[in-house]
Amino acid sequence: MKESEFGKGLCYCLGLFLAHAEREGRPAVTAESWFNGASDHFYELQVPTTLPPRLRKRLAELQEKALHWGHGFKGDAKEEDKTWAITEAKNLLLKLDKLNGVETQNAQWD
């Protein structure tokens, strides 16, 4: 079995991406630099075809945008893009839980 440098899966890769959110202010980096490290976990993001089309589309959009902002090196990533991507990844994890019958609730200190 081939090793994966940045992880492979769906929830696992979303979780690894979100782990970078805790590092966003230490040390201060540009949004593009932050995406450069965080988006690596989307290289092998696995989106099951059994998911509802709207959810698959949202996952694909997050993956595409994050990889563009992190590896396009066009200088077009902004802080609001980072905020959107982090929020979207959290919301997608909530949707995946709900889809699987898990009761969810947003954290007060999110």
Q: Which residues contact 79 (CB under 8 A, 6 or more apart)?
A: 31
Q: Is residue 88 part of a domain?
A: yes
Amino acid 66 reads A
pTM (2 d.p.): 0.90
Q: Is residue 109 part of a domain?
A: no
Q: Is residue 107 part of a domain?
A: no
How many structural domains compose the chain?
Answer: 1
Q: Is residue 18 part of a domain?
A: yes
pLDDT in tens, the chain (110 residues): 678 889 999 999 999 999 999 875 556 688 999 999 999 999 999 999 999 999 999 999 999 999 999 998 788 899 999 999 999 999 999 999 999 999 999 888 87
Q: Is residue 94 part of a domain?
A: yes
Q: Is residue 1 part of a domain?
A: no
CA 106 to chain centre: 17
Q: Is residue 5 part of a domain?
A: no
Could you tell me the residue range of the domain that residue 71 belongs to? 11-99
Of the candidates 13, 107, 98, the one whose C-alpha atom is nearest the C-alpha of residue 59 is 13
Determine how many CB atoms are found less than 10 A away from the CB of residue 21.
17
Quote helix, strand, coil % in the chain, to nearest 5: 60, 0, 40
Q: Is residue 78 part of a domain?
A: yes
Interhelix angle for 31-38 vs 53-71, to 10°?
120
